[in-house]
């Protein structure tokens, strides 16, 4: 019988595990579970016997960076594969931080994902830059926005900074005149097929383009080398605010290249003024694949666009669109639309249930947390009045079918828990509450979505909006 041996791996509490592979199959009928262990940090270890191949497997659902599979003679039988964001650092923005550069210059705190210890600090260049207002991870790099930076192209042109995971500056990109460049940023997958995840930057208030005031613009940069521009897309009409939100949705048209969606919440569609629209583009050439639109005027349809994974089990990743000002069951309850990535057809909607709560303020795909074979997702309502008080905030965890799995409530009045929300891996999310301990001390929580228990808590400095952005 062949036995797999392994590289060494240390858990967050210092315990060593050997041999590990990706999480075990959902169907364990072809395996004999020899043992299943859970340590005090919630890390699970499965020891499985494969009845078909007579191989013993050890699976660790944990902070694995990569794995190698070896046979008993030491020969490699499996590839090394990197797991996205399962180890490394967490970037937390505090865009109102008053640093040596002046008021609201901004700051980004870099914490260790595993130990929780502060690793580095990044600071805004000038007063009023609001450095750290947006943060995005793309590949093994991080982008930080300073949308109010006054650069060579004028007042509030904005500026983008690109860093390594430990905070070493790689490059900067200056925005266009009065465009608030860097207010919205996101990794969108490898759209140019060079093996590196690419970065999108939106300027939804850009008005120097061909289509008028606040038409908006989206720029996409390669994640490789010197980060050259790949595409530049203009909003179609005055006031569209194209580029307000966007996301990589995987390969929806089957050409082997990642595609992406972009919102224009100010688009005047068939359902009224500012009904909003979201466009799906081909990653190869930025040609339009399809578009979807909001149901009613002025609901901020497209405030958030998010890849939620394959929730309809057709092999193609799907996406959500938020309308946090939607007047569904009640005034400004908020609404989230779930769409098929393959066809653009509406799968279902979720509605907020409290007046003014703004359901859908942030959304994150979080992997299959209940292990039923379908991807799950989280939705925030930063103005939810819950057990903690008025505007304490809330984050709800949903199964891919739209069934509620769990609810996480903010601690206290005016915390705005759920202002920011980001998935670190398939079972950890970070949630920002920038007004925690009002005024604005700020707090960020790292939650294990399998147990709904907190693994890390970080608290910021007074009046800095610590947690306004997380990645």
356/100 Cα distance (integer angstroms)? 38
Question: pLDDT tens across 418-450, in order?
Answer: 999 999 876 789 999 999 986 678 999 999 887
Which pLDDT does position 23 carry in this prediction? Answer: 41
378/362 Cα distance (integer angstroms)? 8
Mean pLDDT of the chain: 84
Interior angle at CA 65, CA 82 and CA 247, nearest 5: 55
Which CATH fold topology does 89-470 show? Answer: Methylamine Dehydrogenase; Chain H (2.130.10)
User: For 2-6, 30-34, 125-129, which range has the lowest pLDDT when averaged over its residues?
Assistant: 2-6
Interior angle at CA 327, CA 324 and CA 329, nearest 5: 110
DSSP string, 331-356: TT-BEEEEE-TTT--EEEEEE--STT
Cross-strand partners of 250: 259
143/310 Cα distance (integer angstroms)? 26
Question: pLDDT tens across 392-422, in order?
Answer: 999 999 999 999 999 999 999 999 999 999 9
Q: Cα 44 vs. chain centroid, distance in angstroms?
A: 25
Which pLDDT does position 370 carry in this prediction? Answer: 87
| Helix, strand, or coil (residue 7) | coil
Checking if the pLDDT of 57 tops 70, the result is no
Question: pLDDT tens across 27-51, in order?
Answer: 545 555 555 554 444 444 444 454 5
pLDDT band, residue 178 (cuts 50/70/90): confident
Percent over 70 (pLDDT), the chain: 81
Is 212:237 a contact under the CB 8 Å cutoff? yes
CA dihedral 18, 21, 23, 25 (to 10 degrees): -120
Which pLDDT does position 321 carry in this prediction? Answer: 98
Checking if the pLDDT of 291 tops 80, the result is yes
Which pLDDT does position 45 carry in this prediction? Answer: 46
Which pLDDT does position 116 carry in this prediction? Answer: 87
pLDDT band, residue 463 (cuts 50/70/90): very high
Checking if the pLDDT of 82 tops 50, the result is no
376/412 Cα distance (integer angstroms)? 27
Scored b (16 or more CB within 10 A) or e, 50-67 reads eeeeebbbbbbbbbbeeb
- Distance from the first to the final alpha carbon of the chain: 44
pLDDT band, residue 177 (cuts 50/70/90): confident
Mean pLDDT of 76-95: 57
Which pLDDT does position 52 carry in this prediction? Answer: 54
User: For 16-20, 189-193, 391-395, which range has the lowest pLDDT when averaged over its residues?
Assistant: 16-20
7/16 Cα distance (integer angstroms)? 10
193/250 Cα distance (integer angstroms)? 12
Which pLDDT does position 303 carry in this prediction? Answer: 98
The structural domains of the chain, with segments of one domain joined by +, span 5-82, 89-470
Helix, strand and coil content of the chain, in percent to the nearest 5, comes to: 0, 45, 55
Which pLDDT does position 448 carry in this prediction? Answer: 87
Which pLDDT does position 426 carry in this prediction? Answer: 66
390/384 Cα distance (integer angstroms)? 7
Which pLDDT does position 66 carry in this prediction? Answer: 28
418/326 Cα distance (integer angstroms)? 18
Checking if the pLDDT of 255 tops 90, the result is yes
Checking if the pLDDT of 72 tops 80, the result is no
Which pLDDT does position 36 carry in this prediction? Answer: 52
Which pLDDT does position 33 carry in this prediction? Answer: 54
Mean pLDDT of 387-393: 96
In this prediction the pTM is: 0.82
Strand order in the sheet with 159-164: 134-138, 141-146, 159-164, 169-174
Which pLDDT does position 30 carry in this prediction? Answer: 54
Which pLDDT does position 453 carry in this prediction? Answer: 80
Which pLDDT does position 189 carry in this prediction? Answer: 94
Checking if the pLDDT of 278 tops 70, the result is yes
pLDDT band, residue 85 (cuts 50/70/90): very low
């Amino acid at each position: 019988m062949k036995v797999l041996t392994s590289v060494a791996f240390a858990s967050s509490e210092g315990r060593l595990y050997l041999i590990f592979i990706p999480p075990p199959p959902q169907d364990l009928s072809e395996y004999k579970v020899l043992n299943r262990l859970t340590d005090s940090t919630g890390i699970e270890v499965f020891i499985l016997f494969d009845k078909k191949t007579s191989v013993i497997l050890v699976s660790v659902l944990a902070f694995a960076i990569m794995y190698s599979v070896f046979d008993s003679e030491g020969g490699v039988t499996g590839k090394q594969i990197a797991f996205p964001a399962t180890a490394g650092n967490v970037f937390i923005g505090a865009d109102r931080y008053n640093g040596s550069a002046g008021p609201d210059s901004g700051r980004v705190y870099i914490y260790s994902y595993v130990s929780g210890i502060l690793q580095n600090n990044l600071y805004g260049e000038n007063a009023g830059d609001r450095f750290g207002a947006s943060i995005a991870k793309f590949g093994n790099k991080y982008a930080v926005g300073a949308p109010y930076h006054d650069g060579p192209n004028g007042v509030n042109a904005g500026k983008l900074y690109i860093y390594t995971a430990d905070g070493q500056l790689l490059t900067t990109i200056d925005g266009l005149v009065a465009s608030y460049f860097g207010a919205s940023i996101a990794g969108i997958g490898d759209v140019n097929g060079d093996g590196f995840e690419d970065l999108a930057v939106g300027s939804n208030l850009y008005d120097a383009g061909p289509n008028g005031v606040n038409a908006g613009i989206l720029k996409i940069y390669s994640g490789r080398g010197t980060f050259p521009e790949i595409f530049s897309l203009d909003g179609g009409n005055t006031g569209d605010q194209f580029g307000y939100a966007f996301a990589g949705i995987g390969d929806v048209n089957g050409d082997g290249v990642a595609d992406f969606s972009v919102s224009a919440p100010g688009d005047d569609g068939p359902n009224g003024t500012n009904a909003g629209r979201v466009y799906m583009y081909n990653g190869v050439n930025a040609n339009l694949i399809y578009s979807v639109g909001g149901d009613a005027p002025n609901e901020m349809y497209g405030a958030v666009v998010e890849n939620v994974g394959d929730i309809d089990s057709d092999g193609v990743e799907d996406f959500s669109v938020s309308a946090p000002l939607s007047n569904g069951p009640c005034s400004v309850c908020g609404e989230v639309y779930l769409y098929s990535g393959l066809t653009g057809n509406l799968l279902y909607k979720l509605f907020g249930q409290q007046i003014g709560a703004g359901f859908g303020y942030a959304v994150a795909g979080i992997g299959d947390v209940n292990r039923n074979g379908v991807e799950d997702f989280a939705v925030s309502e930063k103005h939810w009045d819950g057990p903690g008080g008025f505007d304490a905030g809330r984050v709800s965890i949903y199964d891919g079918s739209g069934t509620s799995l769990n609810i996480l409530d903010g601690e206290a009045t005016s915390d705005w828990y759920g202002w920011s929300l980001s998935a670190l891996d398939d079972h950890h999310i970070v949630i920002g509450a920038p007004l925690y301990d009002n005024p604005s001390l700020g707090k960020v929580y790292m939650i294990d979505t399998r147990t709904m228990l907190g693994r890390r808590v970080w608290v910021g400095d007074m009046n800095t909006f610590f947690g306004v952005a997380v990645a």
